[in-house]
């Protein structure tokens, strides 16, 4: 019989050294709801930096490691309840696979940043490994699906609120790579523009995958065909920094997807329009608490995020929301929702109970594989300058 786990989960981190952007987001998001303690880490390949970061985070020095393998050994030596329950992997793409594999093989749950691996082949192998270890959780931080109003959008589509789907337009413009800041050593930019660390795609891998994942998440459809037009806007780069795609979903739904990192003045402009036979909906990451739904009669019904007794939000959207209406939640809280569900599922596994549908609502290894297939499809297709069936 299941026994409720009466302690916080213990988290270890790989990557996320001093000054890292996404590593710190993981730290805050994981601990946001008070159910997780960061207790160990290997924050950098440079042991000095790793120690420095461990100190900033008030970790015990004995739990700060010089390499992932050392960390695995060290943590396995500790008793359950003290050792980490899961590892969060926030390194550049090229080490995601090996580190995930090793932690999984050592029996730990894993939360990994996206894109999931460096290559499609690695992704397939990781999927097989995860499928072979059904009691361990593998979560991927496609964090935008953690937003409550994204969940509401999905649930409205599922419930038929906007009828049969007809068209999808998903846009993801950013502007932070307008200059070649990788040449000035900007950490993020250096590895994201380097094929050895990032893989075959730049912009399309970093944010195009988010756009595709969001579209599939909300619509419940799958992209089946793509006509891609990737480009290198800033001369000298080796990976795309901008890309436009025509897309076909199953069920004959047509759409557009674009992502760019050279759109000056666009910040983190992920937005999506979903058009259906009986209505349409629109969501924008920079204004995440509102969800306008366009009605057939010309009016617009705007749903607004918030807890409370009033019915409008779906159960999943309500569960993903902590504050009452009008008290905005944003990026961290959405990210924390991925962790909350993934950790609830870990708890279920530890406690020996079946996780609920809401607990299982986090991106997993299948989403990760689709992301790698998306990258492969758009890169090949753009080279061939023609429509390409989804690469499996």
**Contacts with a copy of itself in 103-162 (CB under 8 A)?**
162
- Residue 297 C-beta: closest distance to a copy of itself, Å: 5
Residue 294 touches a copy of itself, criterion: CB under 8 A: yes
Any contact of residue 377 with a copy of itself (CB under 8 A)?
A: no
Angle between helices 331-351 and 148-158 (to 10 degrees): 70
Among 18, 32, 124, 356, binds a copy of itself (CB under 8 A): 32
**Does residue number 101 form part of the binding site for a copy of itself (CB under 8 A)?**
no
Residue ranges in 39-98 that form contacts with a copy of itself under rule CB under 8 A: 55, 57-58
232 touches 383 (CB < 8 A): no
- State in angstroms the smallest separation of the CB of 360 from a copy of itself: 23
Residues 306-365 that bind a copy of itself (CB under 8 A): 306, 308, 310-312, 322-333
Burial 327-342 (b: 16+ CB within 10 A, else e): eebebebbbbbbbbbb
All residues at 6 or more sequence positions from 313 whose CB lies less than 8 Å from its CB, including other chains: 148, 152, 303, 305, 306, 321
Stretch near a copy of itself under the rule CB under 8 A, chosen from 84-92, 113-121, 189-197, 293-301: 293-301
Query: Hey, what are 230's tokens?
Result: 């990737």
Distance, CA of 367 to CA of 216 (rounded, Å): 10
Interface with a copy of itself (CB under 8 A), residue from 155, 161, 176, 353 = 176
What is the spatial distance between Cα 158 and Cα 67, in angstroms, rounded to a whole number?
Answer: 45
CB of 104 to a copy of itself, least distance (A): 27
CB of 131 to a copy of itself, least distance (A): 33
Q: At what angle do helices 21-31 and 331-351 cross, to 10 degrees?
A: 60
Burial string for 276-294 (b: 16+ CB within 10 Å, else e) reads beebbbbbbbeebbebbbb
**Residue from 50, 91, 93, 171 binding a copy of itself (CB under 8 A):** 171
Minimum distance of a copy of itself from residue 65's CB (angstroms): 19
**Does residue number 31 form part of the binding site for a copy of itself (CB under 8 A)?**
yes
Minimum CB–partner distance for residue 71 and a copy of itself (Å): 20
266 forms part of the interface with a copy of itself (CB under 8 A)? yes
Q: According to the binding rule CB under 8 A, does residue 19 interact with a copy of itself? A: no
**Cα separation, 313 vs 293, whole angstroms:** 13
Q: Which of 267, 351, 354, 383 binds a copy of itself (CB under 8 A)?
A: 267
Residue 92 in contact with residue 120, Cβ under 8 Å?
no
> Least Å distance between CB 87 and a copy of itself?
18
Sign of CA dihedral 177, 142, 248, 297: negative
**Choice from 45, 95, 229, 271 touching a copy of itself (CB under 8 A):** 229
Task: Extract the runs of DSSP E, i.e. beta strands, from 277-353.
Answer: 279-284, 290-295, 300-304
Contact between 380 and a copy of itself by CB under 8 A: the answer reads no
List the beta strands (DSSP E) in 180-253: 223-231, 242-249
Beta carbon of residue 224, minimum distance to a copy of itself (angstroms, whole number): 14
Rule CB under 8 A: choose which of 127, 209, 219, 285 binds a copy of itself.
285
| Cα(161)–Cα(277) distance, integer angstroms | 10
* Binders of a copy of itself in range 186-205 (CB under 8 A): none
Q: Which is nearer to a copy of itself, 132 or 297 (CB)?
A: 297
- 21 in contact with a copy of itself (CB under 8 A): yes
User: Which SS3 state, helix, strand or coil, does residue 235 take?
Assistant: coil
Answer yes or no: are the C-beta atoms of 43 and 17 closer than 8 Å.
yes
Task: Pick one of 62, 105, 250, 301: the residue that binds a copy of itself (CB under 8 A).
Answer: 301
Considering beta carbons, is residue 100 or 209 the nearer one to a copy of itself? 209
């Amino acid at each position: 019989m299941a026994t409720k786990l009466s302690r916080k989960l213990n988290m270890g981190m790989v990557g996320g050294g001093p000054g890292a952007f996404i590593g710190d987001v993981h730290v805050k998001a994981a601990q946001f709801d008070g159910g997780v303690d960061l207790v160990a880490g290997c924050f950098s390949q440079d042991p000095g930096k790793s120690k420095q970061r461990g100190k900033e985070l008030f970790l015990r020095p004995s739990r700060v490691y010089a390499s992932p393998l050392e960390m695995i050994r060290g943590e396995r030596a500790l008793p359950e309840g003290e050792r980490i329950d899961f590892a969060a992997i926030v390194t550049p793409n090229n080490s995601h696979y090996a580190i995930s594999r090793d932690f999984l093989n050592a029996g730990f749950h894993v939360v990994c940043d996206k894109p999931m691996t460096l290559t499609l082949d690695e992704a397939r192998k990781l999927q097989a490994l995860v499928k072979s270890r059904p009691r361990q959780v593998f979560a991927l931080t496609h964090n935008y699906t953690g937003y409550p109003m994204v969940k509401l959008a999905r649930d409205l589509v599922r419930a038929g609120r906007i009828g049969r789907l007809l068209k999808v337009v998903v846009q993801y413009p950013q502007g932070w790579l307008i200059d070649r800041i990788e040449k000035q050593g900007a950490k993020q930019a250096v590895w994201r523009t380097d094929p050895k660390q990032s893989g075959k795609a730049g912009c399309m891998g970093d944010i195009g995958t988010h756009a595709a994942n969001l579209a599939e998440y909300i619509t419940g459809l799958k992209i089946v065909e793509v006509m891609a037009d990737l480009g290198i806007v800033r001369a000298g780069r080796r990976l795309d920094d901008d890309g436009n795609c025509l897309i076909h979903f199953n069920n004959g739904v047509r759409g557009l997807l674009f992502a760019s990192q050279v759109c000056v003045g666009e910040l983190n402009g992920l937005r999506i329009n979903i058009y259906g036979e009986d209505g349409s909906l629109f969501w924008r990451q920079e204004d995440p608490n509102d969800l306008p739904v366009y009605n057939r009669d010309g009016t617009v019904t705007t749903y607004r995020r918030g807890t409370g007794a009033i019915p409008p939000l779906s159960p999943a959207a309500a569960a993903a929301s902590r504050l009452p209406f009008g008290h905005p939640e944003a990026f961290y809280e959405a990210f924390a929702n991925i962790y909350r569900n993934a950790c609830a599922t870990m708890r279920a596994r530890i406690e020996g109970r079946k996780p609920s549908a809401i607990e299982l609502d986090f991106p997993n290894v299948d989403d990760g594989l689709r992301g790698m297939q998306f990258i492969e499809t758009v890169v090949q297709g753009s080279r061939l300058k023609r429509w390409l069936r989804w690469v499996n």
